[in-house]
Structure 1
């Protein structure tokens, strides 16, 4: 794993134990899954590319729009799921027919893959990327490379 991806994984692991707080993005203070990605972005790349507007827990569900997927495509590089590597962002569809709206960062690949995510009721945790989680992945994205 190159230095850039090591930095992403190390930063994500530094958020472990942060409580789950909807719409937040504050290391140790609280975050949701998007807030975790935003916080890692700020720590590794600097300023966020856009200001995230307020959102409800059921955002994008009524209209069935893949808002999170579209935003990820606009600011990150899509990568085939089977080529995911540590430091990549994983997008999950939690229920069949629902919009994809959960994010995590792959931390380990191979025989025992793992990912970090902010999970309601648990906070920021590192989980095994077990079959039930892996089958929910619908897209994979790479953070843009640092320019400096």
Structure 2
């Protein structure tokens, strides 16, 4: 948890993943991965802002499933990576890290990395949850 919270205040920057410099929501997860687990397991290809609005594949979930430990969202606790569906008809395309029973950390455009309450609105958007594997 301390590792993820050290990213608080990092400015928002598309496709970046550098603590204190800039990151987007996926970049936050990538940066925490590097600190907790080690080198990233595969390169992330460039992506557009609208990538999640097209296609039926759960791209983020498939990628996470390949390298992380999936768990039921209802069982996710502090330290779990959660994937949100921003629209009930869309694929999961927003990433956060739970910091407490009712809080989470995420990178939000114009705000950067923030911690905020996991309100009922956010909670119902959680589509997938994963644990980071043990590091090297």
Greater percentage in strand: 2
Q: Say how many residue pairs are matched.
A: 136
Q: Deviations over 1:69-121 (max 9, x none)?
A: 11111111111112111110011000120111001000001xxx100000112
Matched, 1:31 2:23: yes
TM (norm. structure 1) is 0.88
Runs of 4+ residues deviating >2 angstroms: none
How many angstroms apart in 1 are the aligned matches of 2:65 and 2:55? 19
| Other-structure match for 2:75 | 83
The 5 Å alignment of 1:58-69 reads: 58-69=50-61
Runs (5+) with no aligned partner, structure 1: 1-8
The Cα shift of 1:36 comes to: 0.2
How many angstroms apart in 2 are the aligned matches of 1:136 and 1:60? 15
